[in-house]
Amino acid sequence: MRVISGIYKRRRFDVPHTFKARPTTDFAKENLFNVLCNNYIDFEDGVTALDLFAGTGSISIELVSRGCDRVISIEKDPQHLAFISQIMREVKTDKCFPMRADVFKYIDKCHEQFDFIFADPPYALKDLETIPARIFEKGLLKEDGLLVLEHGKDNHFEEDPHFIERRVYGSVNFSFFKAKVPTDE
């Protein structure tokens, strides 16, 4: 796993072969961050982020490297969480807060809002389709916040009222959702 850009650019971390997590490919991650940085987010502008199903911590370390003020990484597997914590200790950052939790329980209990939320659930997760609705029902995104959900080719979110676009990089699909800004009618 490598960091694409930012202060930890080109740093590599060896993911243990025993991990069940499927890290976002470097190709997909690089393209995702190009889209994010060119169209949606300036990560050096006081951004707070939430990384759901953090897995190897690939997205979390990329967010910290690019200048996020605060990243909360939610991961249920204790080995994966320990790996994420180890990475953050190695780079000596105090910007990432790995937490062991079930993502759905965390969403239900969270009272914080974020500028950016990334979710990379297992593609076969039973309730994967409910993730955007749960995040918006709980108000976890700030007014102009962005949610990116990584998923397989069989999931479609185009009918979701918050959906704005889908990007496909090989077998990796990213659906983008935006919190709606209140309008005066």
Q: Hey, what amino acid is at 118?
A: F
SS3 category, 180:
coil
Q: Give the predicted TM-score (pTM) of the model.
A: 0.94
* 123 vs 176, more confident: 176
For the four alpha carbons of 128, 80, 21 and 73, in that order, the dihedral sign comes to positive
| Nearest CA-CA partner of 54 in 89, 96, 90, 93 | 96
Q: Where are the domains of the chain?
A: 1-8+54-113+137-174
Q: Which H or E run contains 163?
A: strand 163-169
Q: What is the pLDDT of residues 132-181, one digit of tens each?
A: 999 999 999 999 999 999 999 999 999 999 999 999 998 899 999 998 74
Architecture of the 1-8+54-113+137-174 domain:
3-Layer(aba) Sandwich (3.40)
- Please give the residue that has the higher pLDDT: either 94 or 16: 94
Instruction: Judge whether residue 182 has pLDDT over 60.
Output: no
pLDDT of residue 24: 80
Task: Name the residue with tokens 């990089």.
Answer: 169
- How confident is the model over 29-63, as pLDDT tens digits? 999 999 999 999 999 899 999 999 999 999 999 99
